Amino acid sequence: MGEFELIAKYFSAVGAKRSDVITGVGDDGAVIQVRDGHDLVVTTDTMVSGTHFFANDDPRALGHKLVTVNISDLAAMGAEPAWLSLALTLPEVNEHWLSQFSAGINETAEYYNCQLVGGDTTRGPLSLTMTAKGLVPRGKALSRSGAKVGDYIYVTGTLGDAALGLKLQQGLHQVSKKHQTHILQRFQYPSARVALGQALRNIANSAMDLSDGLYGDIQHILHRSAVGASIDVQKLPLSQALKDSCDNNTAYGLALSGGEDYELLFTVSENKRGSLDVLLSPYGVAITCIGRITGAIGKLELKKSEQTFSYQPQGFKHFA
């Protein structure tokens, strides 16, 4: 099967069918009608076999994750996802793998109302690159640079589940049978907080998504906003599954540095906290206040029961 047949068979009609796509897959470029009064938000993520995933991972889950990690970046910007492109490097044409991978992209793109509008395929070591484009009302994009001293720091959902899921998949950690599905699901089929990101447009001073773990990720907000942060580890939202599967310090470690949670981290000023609770309650995603932004530029302070919590961060590495 040649490149053109492959594209036609597996990638020509993937995701939602959007009326703003004038020309999609199959031409030299995609032609898209961009909505008036909006800014375009563009993000790219690459997943390399042996670094971000294992060559024998379920291709459907890989397709799902590739879309989700990109959409999660759009969510963090407060954008509405719209269009995707895919650059695929394959060691060989394996039709079973391709059909599952394409199905994973298709169902996830459809879920987020995104259409695959183009891409490229090449032969080489397995590598998956996706670019996602979305729209945000002009001037309303969220960023990492707007955090203010005194802001309250929030995260969505629960932290550390995906990292535990990876350990479970690798056979490095036991999880009781009743929690296994939930924990594996959180690692293999993460969700992007799209509706919530859009709801934060007029509320949050800064926002980002958590891909590498809170401890490392929040440093980007601290540096871009020239502020510090104080976080109470006892306030970190942990799922029952995580609490039942680990001792406290292991759970804090996974929540702080585990990575791949794809939850949102955002900061809100004191006077917006009330509207935050009211506006976000219909979204059905828990939000938890975990600390405050401080004036100690670039410094992240971890506390537990008003005492300093000493923590040696471990970066999230698949093959560590």
List binders of Mg ion among 6-65 (CB under 5 A): none
Single-letter amino acid, residue 117? V
- Judged by CB under 5 A, the chain residues 285 through 304 that form the site for Mg ion are none
Which strands form 152-156's sheet, in the order they lie side by side?
Answer: 204-209, 264-268, 152-156, 287-294, 228-232, 300-304, 307-308
Structure tokens at 125: 């070591």
211 is in an annotated binding site: yes
- Residue placing its CB nearer to Mg ion in the complex, 73 or 80: 73
Cβ proximity to Mg ion, 208 vs 231, nearer residue: 208
Closest CA to 205 of 145, 122, 125: 145
Does 36 belong to an annotated binding site? no
- Is-contact 86 119, C-beta < 8 A? yes
Query: Which residue's CB is nearer to Mg ion, number 10 or number 154?
Result: 154
261 is in an annotated binding site: no
Q: Give residue 134's Cα distance to chain centre.
A: 15
The residues near 93 (Cβ < 8 Å, ≥ 6 apart) are: 1, 6
Cα-Cα-Cα-Cα torsion 277, 279, 284, 289, nearest 10 degrees, comes to -30
Residue 151 assigned to a binding site = no
Contact 261, 164 (CB under 8 A): no
Q: Which is nearer to Mg ion, 98 or 256 (CB)?
A: 256
Is 119 among the annotated ligand-binding positions? yes
User: Does 173 appear as a known binding residue?
Assistant: no
State the binding string over 63-82 for Mg ion (x if CB under 5 A, else -).
----------x---------
- When binding is defined by CB under 5 A, the residue of 45, 80, 209, 263 that contacts Mg ion is 209
Nearer Cβ to Mg ion (83/262)? 262
The least distance separating Mg ion from the CB of residue 12, rounded to whole angstroms, comes to: 29
Count of residues that bind Mg ion according to CB under 5 A: 2
Which residues of the shown chain bind Mg ion in the complex (CB under 5 A)?
73, 209
